[in-house]
Amino acid sequence: MNLLELHSLAVHYGGIKAVKGIDLHIAEGEVVCLIGANGAGKTSSLKAIAGLLPAAGGEVLFRGQPITRLPAHQRVRQGLALVPEGRGVFPRLTVEENLLMGAYQFDDKPQIRIDLENSYSLFPRLQERRAQRAGTLSGGEQQMLAIARALMSRPRLLLLDEPSMGLAPLMVQKIFETIRGIAAQGVTLLLVEQNARLALEVSQRGYVLDGGRVTLADSSESLLGNPQVRAAYLGA
C-alpha cells in the first residue's frame, strides 16, 4: 500500500494556479524527490500535502485514508511532518526547547527523552548547543534543528522543503549526508529541492515539475541520465 497518494491535486493562490493537478505516490520506506524550476509548484504541492494550503481540487490520501480536508495540526498527529522552507525554527527558544516543541502532541516523557537523545546522537552539534537560542545558530545548524525537531514528532513521512536553501556548499553536503542517514533508518521521505543533482542522488525516484504539472516521473537514476533533465536542471 502506498503511504501517500496524490490524485490530480490542484493548488491555487487567489487566481493563480500554482499546481494544476498532479499525481504522485510514495511507498513506505521510499525516498522521493520533487524537482523543478522556481515557481514550478514544488513548495505549493508540499504545503498542500501538509495542510498549510487548501487543495483547490483533487485528493490527498495518507495510509489509504483521504486527508484532503483535514486541518494541518491533525495531519501532524497522523504522522506527517513538514520541515518548512526557510527552516522556521523558534528563534528565541533554546535548541532543546525547539526539539521538545516537536514532541508537542506527546505526553510520554520517557519516550520523549529517548527521542531527544536520538536527535542528539544524529546531530551531535545540536547537543553542544542545546542551551543556546535557536536564532543564534548558523543556517546549517538551524536546518539540522528543523529536521531533528520534525523527527521528534515520530513521523511516518517526512516532508523536506528546500533543505539546501541559503546554505554554504559544504553545509549542503553535510545536510544531505544526514538526509541519507535518516533515509537509511527507514524513514519515508519526500524531498523538494532546487538542487536537482543532490536531490536525485539521495532519492530512489523523482518527479519533475514544470508549470504546475508533472512532466516526468522516473527512477532517479534514469532522470540523472535523461538528456532533457540534464540540459534543463543539471546544467550539463
Partner 1 sequence: MLSLLPESLRHDRRLVWATYAGLALLLCLLPFLVDAGMGRTWVRILDFALLYVMLALGLNIVVGFAGLLDLGYVAFYAVGAYLYAILASPHFGLHLPFWVLLPLGAAIAGLFGMLLGAPTLRLRGDYLAIVTLGFGEIIRIFLNNLNAPVNITNGPQGINLIDPIQVAGLPLSKGLDLGILTLSGVHAHYYLFLTLTLLTIFIALRLQDSRIGRAWVAIREDEVAAVAMGINTRNIKLLAFAMGAMFGGVGGGLFSAFQGFVSPESFTLMESIMILSMVVLGGMGHIPGVILGAVALTLLPELLRYIGPLQQSLFGRVAVDPSDLRMLLFGMGLVLVMLFRPEGLWPSPKRARELHPDSPDVSRQEQEDLYDASR
- Residues 162 and 87: their CA atoms lie apart, in Å, by 9
Which stretch, 12-20, 90-98, 108-116, 218-226, contacts partner 1 (CB under 8 A)?
90-98
Q: Does 113 bind partner 1 (CB under 8 A)?
A: no
94 Cβ contact partners less than 8 Å away, ≥ 6 residues apart: 130, 131, 132, 133, 134
Q: Does 102 bind partner 1 (CB under 8 A)?
A: yes
Q: Does 88 bind partner 1 (CB under 8 A)?
A: yes
Nearer to partner 1, 145 or 208 (CB): 145
Q: Residue 114 has which C-alpha cell?
A: 529517548
Q: Count residues contacting partner 1 (CB under 8 A)?
A: 32
Among 11, 22, 50, 187, interactor with partner 1 by CB under 8 A: 50
Site for partner 1 in 132-151 (CB under 8 A): 132-133, 136-138, 149-150
From residue 148 to residue 177, what is the string marking binding to partner 1 with x (rule CB under 8 A)? -xx--x--------------x---------
End-to-end distance of the chain based on CA atoms, in angstroms? 37
Q: Does 76 bind partner 1 (CB under 8 A)?
A: yes
Q: What number of CA atoms fall less than 13 Å from residue 6's CA on the CB side? A: 25
- Long-range contacts from 186-189, C-beta under 8 angstroms, 24+ separation: 186/29, 187/151, 187/155, 187/158, 188/3, 188/4, 188/26, 188/27, 188/28, 188/29, 188/30, 188/31, 188/156, 188/157, 188/158, 189/30, 189/31, 189/32, 189/157, 189/158, 189/160
Q: Does 99 bind partner 1 (CB under 8 A)?
A: no
Q: Does 69 bind partner 1 (CB under 8 A)?
A: no
Among 27, 101, 217, 234, interactor with partner 1 by CB under 8 A: 101
Question: How many other β-carbons are positioned within 10 Å of the β-carbon of residue 27?
Answer: 14
Name the residue among 105, 93, 80 with its Cα closest to residue 134.
93
Which amino acid type is present at position 51?
Answer: G
Q: Does 192 bind partner 1 (CB under 8 A)?
A: no
Q: Residue 127 has which C-alpha cell?
A: 547537543
Q: Does 36 bind partner 1 (CB under 8 A)?
A: no
99 and 177 Cβ atoms separated by less than 8 Å: no
Among 105, 219, 222, 228, interactor with partner 1 by CB under 8 A: 105
Which stretch, 7-15, 18-26, 79-87, 195-203, contacts partner 1 (CB under 8 A)?
79-87
Q: Does 91 bind partner 1 (CB under 8 A)?
A: yes
Q: Residue 221 has which C-alpha cell?
A: 537514476
Nearer to partner 1, 29 or 91 (CB): 91
Which residues of the chain form contacts with partner 1 (CB under 8 A)? 50-52, 71-74, 76-77, 81-84, 88-93, 101-102, 104-105, 132-133, 136-138, 149-150, 153, 168
